[in-house]
Amino acid sequence: MSRLIKNTVLSPLVTGPLLYLLTASPPSIRDALLLRLPIKNTTALFMSLKWLLAIGLIRKANKVLSDWADNKWIWKDDKSVWHWETEVAVVTGGSNGIGAMVAKGLVSNGIKVAVIDVQPLSEDLINCPNISFYQCDVTSRGAVQKAGKAIRAALGSPSILINNAGIGNAGNILDVSPEKLRAIFDVNLISQWYTVQEFLPDMIEKRKGHIMSTASMASFLGIAGMVDYCSTKVGALAFHEGLAQEIKYRYNCPEIKTTIIHPGWTRTRLVKPLEKALQKAGQSIMDPKTVADAMVRQILEVKGGQIILGPTAAPALRALPSWLQERIRDKTAQQATVRATTAVA
């Protein structure tokens, strides 16, 4: 509700006409409106509306420029090249959780989906038409190559890649074992090199594609007890930014979209061991369908960029004074206080 009020107050479509009616409309209209307003200091009212209009216009211009930049400086896309009934999407870690919901959302729009995962499909996906399963360890370059070859032979070349596979640990830096540390970096970050190396060349050849990564609000700050997880998500953000630059300037193919999504705490198997601690800390937990719906919508709208499902000012955290950054980090210190084994997201 507060966001709705904020967006209404700062909308130029609201403040602009209102300012006109109160200052420049015919006297009969202006006077009638002023009589109905329970405000005596009209000078302050007019000044406030002017500031709100100016701020709203700046926000609107900023959004337009940001969307343009996220779209690799392409002003208008040729969406006619996308035919959902012929498109093939690869979803890593798509057997359960957010990935499974994304797979179902894509096939409901006619897209064929290849799920690659070490775990078998969940029961609600087994009989779902247009979903094919390829057992694959995404931390193995050879396994990804083998899965890619099988997918192209059966379904055709994928035009959509969703790097959703992820695992998480809850534990302090001194407690994490070398095996778990290696595993979380391999699954959450290194695997994205392997999948992009496997599927990007076909997208470049066709000058069409969309690569999406599932990151986290942890991309923007480190959390005690989850330093390994946060580090991989910071890396995922850097990978997304660098990939977008290489697609534009190394392969001269800005038509290929790149998206990264940053959900907050989401009710998945990864978060389940932490739910009590999060609730005690007053943190809300998102429904995984909210995340999946946002990802599917981004694909269907043929848009690239960042999707932030949390405080929209999070990317600006590093621009704040150090003392304020540290106060924000201090508030997260008790959110991951239990030890948990690795769980698939």
293 and 150 together in one domain? yes
Which pTM was predicted? 0.84
Q: Is residue 75 part of a domain?
A: no
Return d(Cα 239, Cα 169) in angstroms, integer.
Answer: 21
Amino acid at 175: D
Return d(Cα 20, Cα 49) in angstroms, integer.
Answer: 10
62 and 149 together in one domain? no
Mean pLDDT across the chain: 88
59 and 84 together in one domain? no
Alpha helices in the chain (DSSP H): 2-9, 12-23, 27-36, 42-70, 97-107, 123-126, 141-154, 178-185, 191-206, 227-249, 275-280, 288-300, 322-330
Least reliable range by pLDDT among 1-10, 104-113, 327-336: 1-10
pLDDT at 342 over 50: no
Give the model's confidence band at 343: pLDDT under 50 very low, under 70 low, under 90 confident, else very high: very low
Among residues 47, 70, 93, which one ends one of the domains? Answer: 70
The residues that are catalytic are 229, 233
Do residues 101 and 125 lie in contact, with contact meaning Cβ atoms separated by under 8 Å? Answer: no
65 and 107 together in one domain? no
198 and 265 together in one domain? yes
Residue 160 structural domain: 80-344
146 and 28 together in one domain? no
Give the model's confidence band at 274: pLDDT under 50 very low, under 70 low, under 90 confident, else very high: low
185-227 pLDDT tens trace: 999 999 999 999 999 999 999 999 999 999 998 899 888 888 9
240 and 190 together in one domain? yes
240: left (phi over 0), alpha (psi -120 to 50) or beta: alpha
Among residues 49, 70, 91, which one ends one of the domains? Answer: 70
pLDDT at 300 over 50: yes
pLDDT at 272 over 70: no
88 and 63 together in one domain? no
Q: Residue 227: which CATH number?
A: 3.40.50.720
Give the model's confidence band at 344: pLDDT under 50 very low, under 70 low, under 90 confident, else very high: very low
Per-residue confidence (pLDDT) for residue 337, from 0 to 100: 60
Structure tokens at 51: 């500031």
161: Cα within 13 Å, side-chain hemisphere: 27
Per-residue confidence (pLDDT) for residue 287, from 0 to 100: 86
127 and 205 together in one domain? yes
44 and 152 together in one domain? no
61-67's contacts with Cβ under 8 Å and 24+ in sequence apart are 66/305, 67/303, 67/305
108 and 50 together in one domain? no
14-33 pLDDT tens trace: 888 888 888 888 888 887 88
Q: Is residue 318 part of a domain?
A: yes
Among residues 70, 89, 111, which one ends one of the domains? Answer: 70
Q: Mean per-residue pLDDT for 132-137? A: 97
27 and 143 together in one domain? no
The domain total for the chain is: 2
Return d(Cα 134, Cα 112) in angstroms, integer.
Answer: 13
